[in-house]
Chain A
Amino acid sequence: MSTDDESEPKFGQQALMRFDDAPDRFRAGDKGDRFSGASGVLFEQAMAQTRMAICLSDPHTPDHPIVFANRAFRQLTGYGEEEVLGRNCRFLQGPRTDPEPVARIREAIANEDVVVVEMLNYRKNGTTFWNALHLGPIYNDAGELVYFFGSQWDVSDVRAARAEEQHAREMARELSHRMKNMFAVISGIVNVTGRMRGIQSEAAEINARIQALGRAYETTLDDASSGNIDIGGAIRAVLAPYDQAAGRLALEGEDAPMPFAIISIVGMILHEMSANATKHGAWTVPDGRVRVSWEASGEDATLVIRWEESGGPAVDAQRIEAGTGTAIVDRMLATARGRIEREWKESGLTATITVPAHAI
């Protein structure tokens, strides 16, 4: 809120400021006794104390002049009471005020409707603010229209934050798009180079890793500006291509924000595990299953991934452990101060992978 204005007293006079006698005077001058008794006292106190800028206009006098404006209204707009009373509310509008909300206000008044609009208004000193204006009719006990009520709220900060958030989201999407395009280009370079050098199968292996990494970035980007990514989305994206037949792959885990740096290691490890399952493990047979579950917990936000294969052939552990993919996993985890525990069961490989988020 930026309702402070030089036209109202500030420090040193705060004791005085608690008393806003505008409601009092308004009641005294209100011949119809529309704010009498207990409700009148309530009105008086509420109007004087609220930080919501409020005014009332008289729909029975030509051009609907303002007949009451509380202190918050005067603070927000910078006008004194004598400058406000008797004028139509449109004096707050200016050259950059959009005519569309103004038309909606006019229509609401004509139909005695309630309306909420956001419009650019001008203070006495010429500065502008975004006003969330709530306007509606007030009726007396007999159901006759007596006033139009207007409450003004300075939403400039809210609007700025909204615009900033929107901008950040667009940037995150654009960044994601470019990043994935870059992965596609790198992948193309590897393929084309591999072809020219006659090392297509090596190139394909490199490419599979690059692509797994590229998919890991395909996650919800709402949190991108915070430096975190959603680990659940990343894991699902990396493994998505392996989920070709129903039941082959089961994923279980919550979405949880993790530091961005963890992505490459998680992407690479899951890719190697999948490649192994495809070459030697559960995914060499149609009924083979892999269940991947994960948990990110604790203050140090350690990520624990459980990889469980079943239904596959009996595996020669020696042969696999010597493989390049396995060596890469071990090496990467060592660098990240994580660990992997492999267990070669009759039903297939079970592995528990632990990655500390912050040691990377």
Chain B
Amino acid sequence: MAAICTILLLEDEPIILMDLEFAAEDHGCDPVSASSCSGALDRIATPGGIDVAVLDVSLGGGENCLPVAEELGRLGIPYVLHSADLDRHDERIAKLDAELIAKPANAADVIAAAIARCERCNGGRT
């Protein structure tokens, strides 16, 4: 069965990433994973691209997901933010027009929230 959509999972914590991958597969999505901004940007630029994304806000090494969010915004690809850090985000992150899901959250709920935003897969409805 063809996947309903390709979902980018940006997450620097491997266990959380794996949990999200499984949940994405359960939802019939094709997950592509990245643990840094450059990895995520590569994935986005890969032919075929992605339909929707889940972005962990604070990544390792003081990096945050802003460059990826901006690139997705430019391409008109929907995404949700997934973060444990709700009040310290710098202003540019706070201004992003995206749903924010507080960690810890159920991985299935996170994926469901993401594909609900994805028009290409009709919000996950078949």
Contacts and interface: CB of A to CB of B under 8 A. Distances in A.
Interface of A: 173, 176-181, 183-189, 191-192, 195, 204, 207-208, 210-211, 214-215, 218
Nearest to B57: A177
State the main secondary structure of chain A at its contact with B: helix
A214 B15 contact: no
Given A181-B13, A184-B84, A191-B22, 11 more contacts: A173-B87, A178-B84, A180-B103, A184-B13, A188-B16, A188-B19, A191-B19, A192-B15, A192-B19, A208-B106, A218-B86
B105 interface: yes
B85 A215 contact: no
Which 9 residue pairs of A and B lie closest in terms of their CB atoms, listed nearest first?
A180-B84, A188-B19, A188-B15, A183-B104, A184-B104, A214-B104, A184-B103, A177-B85, A181-B84
B105 A211 contact: yes
A102 B111 CA distance: 56
Interface string B71-103: 000000000000011111000000000000011
Contacts of B3: none
Given A173-B87, A181-B13, A188 B103 contact: no
B9 to A, nearest CB: 12
Contacts of A189: 15
B15 A185 contact: yes
29 contacts: A173-B88, A176-B85, A177-B84, A178-B84, A180-B85, A180-B102, A180-B104, A181-B13, A181-B103, A184-B13, A184-B16, A184-B105, A185-B16, A186-B104, A188-B16, A188-B18, A188-B19, A188-B107, A191-B107, A192-B15, A195-B22, A204-B106, A207-B106, A208-B106, A210-B104, A211-B105, A211-B106, A214-B103, A215-B104
Nearest to B17: A188
A124 B105 CA distance: 60
Contacts of B85: 173, 176-177, 180
Contacts of B15: 185, 188-189, 192
A185 B13 contact: yes
Which has the most chain B C-beta neighbours within 10 Å: A173, A188, A192? A188
Contacts of B105: 184, 211
Interface residues of B, number: 19
B58 interface: yes
A170 to B, nearest CB: 9
A54 to B, nearest CB: 42
A218 B18 contact: no
Contacts of A210: 104
Given A177-B84, A181-B13, A192-B15, A187 B104 contact: yes
Nearest to B103: A184
Which has the most chain A C-beta neighbours within 10 Å: B22, B23, B84? B84
B35 to A, nearest CB: 14
A187 B87 contact: no
A192 B58 CA distance: 23
A240 to B, nearest CB: 9
Contacts of A211: 104-106
A192 B106 contact: no
A56 to B, nearest CB: 45
A191 B23 CA distance: 9
A185 B105 CA distance: 10
Nearest to A170: B88
Interface string B12-42: 0101101100110000000000000000000
B49 to A, nearest CB: 27
Given A173-B88, A185-B13, A191-B107, A218 B102 contact: yes
